Amino acid sequence: MAVPYAEKMAQSQKEISISDFFAKNRQILGFDNPSKALLVSVKEAVDNSLDACEEAGIFPSIFVGLEKVGDKDRFRMTVRDNGPGIVKKQIPNVFGRLLYGSRFHAIRQSRGQQGIGISSVVLYSQLTTGKAALITSKIGEDYPCHQMEVHINTKTNRPQIENPQVVLWDHPHGTEISVELEGRYQKNKKQSVMEYLRATAIVNPHVEIIFKGPDDEVHTFERVIELLPETANECKPHPHGIELGVLKNMLKYTEARKLSSFLINEFVRVSPRGARELLDTAGIDEKRKPNRLQLEDIQSLFDKIQEMKFMSPPTDCLSPIGDMLIRKGLRKEIDSKFAYTVTRDPSVFRGTPFQVEAGIVYGGDLPTGESVKILRFGNRVPLLYQQGGCVITHAIERINWRPYGLEQRGGKGIPVGPAVILVHIASTNVPFTSESKEAIADVDEIMDEIGRALMDCGRRVRSHINKKKKLKKVSEKYDIIREILPEISKKSSSMVGKPEPLLDPIITKIMNVHVFDSGVVYHESGEGDQKQKITEVTIKYQNYTNRERKMRIHVKVPDALIQGIYPETHVRKKGLIEWDVGPIQPARSQRLGFSILGLDKDDYDDVEIYYSRLPGEVIGADPL
């Protein structure tokens, strides 16, 4: 009797190791070509270092070194951090085993979650050079420093160790990975190691990075703030963030004995009252054991979960950068005349919390005839590839930028002008389009939030441009009037034999405008530990109309210590100082001001002035 063909097929079928799969499909992880592979390798190592340092409450100091090996496209990459180190028995698993990590099941914001990143670098190195990764790690000053060579057995997805030893290391704690890999180094390119490190420094101003390139040139990206990001707390899943199969597994493996306690304890935002109401609607007894539910009951429960309204998930699982720190990072790396940033309130997509931050710099030495530069970030990580397939780019292209002072050829697409646009998305689960995490998917809720943030930035740019143009025009007009009018008055009076009239009413009638101007001066007082950083802000209102005026002036201020506010008749609100001003006579002015303590230079350099109860044309301020 002939053996059925299915039997022959069964003999050839076997389990595929995840390492073996990625070894044959390395492009999925971003190792498409030598140039990209080198950048991705640096990125994965630096991301690991940043996460480890921040989790341990350590200000990250990271060294990145690239050394050319021989005549081929080969480099020795070394990345060293001052983090908490890794215990000896975990070193092989962290670097020599794919899909092994501590963050995959944790619902909180972090750079890496899949447990693929750094082990994929070891795998790529092994594939292209056949050499092992050299790992050095020390967990404390009084502990030994362990060093070992790590391979990955692609058939079993298990690490193989060679030459384990204890070595002397002149660092109190930290981890170093050194690998030889195939790569191509590109200098001064948009998608280069240098640009990745510069972008990382912008959104991580608490980090110090020292980069030594193949040419032995050393670049230092200095730490500009002594403040670690807020810790993102782990949270439970939201009812609207799960699918039917996930709910089925949760019911099967939960330790809860009753359905009501399962819903309350396994999910966030489900109260005892909400659990009872949900189960009543689904027609399921709240005392039933979760692991005894049939598929029909699970389907009914899932359907009612989707219909029921729950509070949005908590947002302490996110750690946004903050608009002032983004501005500080942009100012440090990009020379411009104007910078504005905004951090949107947290929002939700499919039960997953996320937050959008955006910034724009304008003017300075930025080129005027080129497309604006776009800086994309997901959980503080720069996204340098697949720009055209990312929701950030699509949101930028969807906006009409012409009203905001930037050209847009054909009325759509990426705008043209002297500007840099930055967008950062923070989330417990950034919806990347692939495992290489190079672009973010077109999720409607994310697209809308990015659009709102960018339009806010656009309005500030338009206000800045209009303010500068109008102030220049008014100043030129005023100078001309002040120069010509006295001469006309003098000659006319001598011709008719009468005294010269007062010119102020005439000047105000010609000008007929309200003008606000502001100035910011930064200085330091004291020495050493007693040194104090002071930002002096002055605002001047000039009444160039022919009537006395009363108004309310509102000035946006940062979250910092404010003192010396004048005039003293003011009101403090969250993020605002308000004055009731007037009456101000025609051709007269009013000065206001305050001091900000503790901010660095350029942290507050563009004064946002708003007004209310003021008719007529106003230059230098916006209606509230």
pLDDT digit string, tens, across residues 505-533: 777 777 788 888 888 888 888 777 778 88
Residue 342 and residue 454 in contact, taking contact as beta carbons nearer than 8 Å: no
User: Among 307, 337, 355, where does a domain finish?
Assistant: 307
The verdict on 536 and 414 lying in the same domain is no
Domain for residue 233, yes or no? Answer: no
Please state, in angstroms and rounded to a whole number, the distance separating the CA atoms of residues 218 and 232.
33
Backbone Cα Rg of the chain: 31
For the chain, what is the largest distance between any 2 Cα atoms, rounded to a whole number of angstroms? 134
496 within a domain of the structure (yes/no): no
Q: Is the residue at 595 inside a domain?
A: yes
Kindly compute the dihedral angle of the four CA atoms of residues 358, 363, 367, 368, in this order, to the nearest 10 degrees: 100
CATH number at residue 365: 3.30.230.10
pLDDT at 282: 86
Instruction: Report yes or no on 482 lying in a domain.
Output: no
- The answer to whether residue 406 is domain-embedded is yes
Residue 486 falls within a domain, yes or no? no
Structure tokens at 287: 């005392």
Angle, CA 217 vertex, CA 214 and CA 221 arms, to 5°: 110
> Which pLDDT does position 115 carry in this prediction?
45
**Do 84 and 198 belong together in one domain?**
yes
- The reported pLDDT for the residue numbered 486 is 74
**pLDDT score at 137:** 95
* Residue 213 shares a structural domain with residue 67: yes
Query: In terms of domains, do 437 and 569 share one?
Result: no
Q: 């180094």: which residue's tokens?
A: 185
**Same domain flag for 389 and 255:** no
Whether 60 and 204 map to the same domain: the answer is yes
List the CATH number of the domain containing 292.
1.10.8.50
Q: Which of 431, 413, 425 is nearest to 453 (CA)?
A: 425
- In this structure, are 212 and 257 located in the same domain? no
pLDDT of residue 537: 92
Do residues 132 and 165 both lie within one domain? yes
User: Is 547 in contact with 509 (CB distance < 8 Å)?
Assistant: no
C-alpha to C-alpha distances, 213 to 70, 205, 297, 428, 607, nearest whole angstrom? 15, 22, 61, 34, 40
My answer on whether 41 and 175 are in the same domain is yes
CA distance linking residue 90 with residue 52, whole number of Å = 14
Same-domain status, 205 and 252: no
Q: Please identify, among 278, 307, 336, the residue that sits at the C-terminal boundary of a domain.
A: 307
Report how many domains make up the chain: 4
278 within some domain: yes
Residues 303, 327 within the same domain: no
Do 590 and 584 meet the contact criterion of CB atoms below 8 Å apart? yes
408 assigned to some structural domain: yes
Strands 208-212 and 576-584: unpaired
What is the predicted pLDDT for the residue at 100?
A: 59
Question: Using CA atoms, how far apart are residues 567 and 558, in angstroms rounded to an integer?
Answer: 19
Q: What range defines the domain where residue 244 resides? A: 239-307
Percent of the chain as helix, strand, coil, to the nearest 5: 35, 30, 40
3-class DSSP assignment, residue 516: strand
Q: Residues 55, 178: one domain?
A: yes
Phi, psi of 220, rounded to the nearest 5 degrees: -120, 125
Among 160, 186, 221, the domain boundary falls at: 221
| Residue whose C-alpha is closest to residue 340's, from 316, 360, 369 | 360
Element (H, E) at 163: strand 158-167
**Which parts of the chain sit beneath pLDDT 70?**
1-3, 5, 8-25, 28, 99-106, 112-116, 332-333, 335-336, 503-504
Q: What is the pTM of this model?
A: 0.76
Q: What's the pLDDT score for residue 144?
A: 94
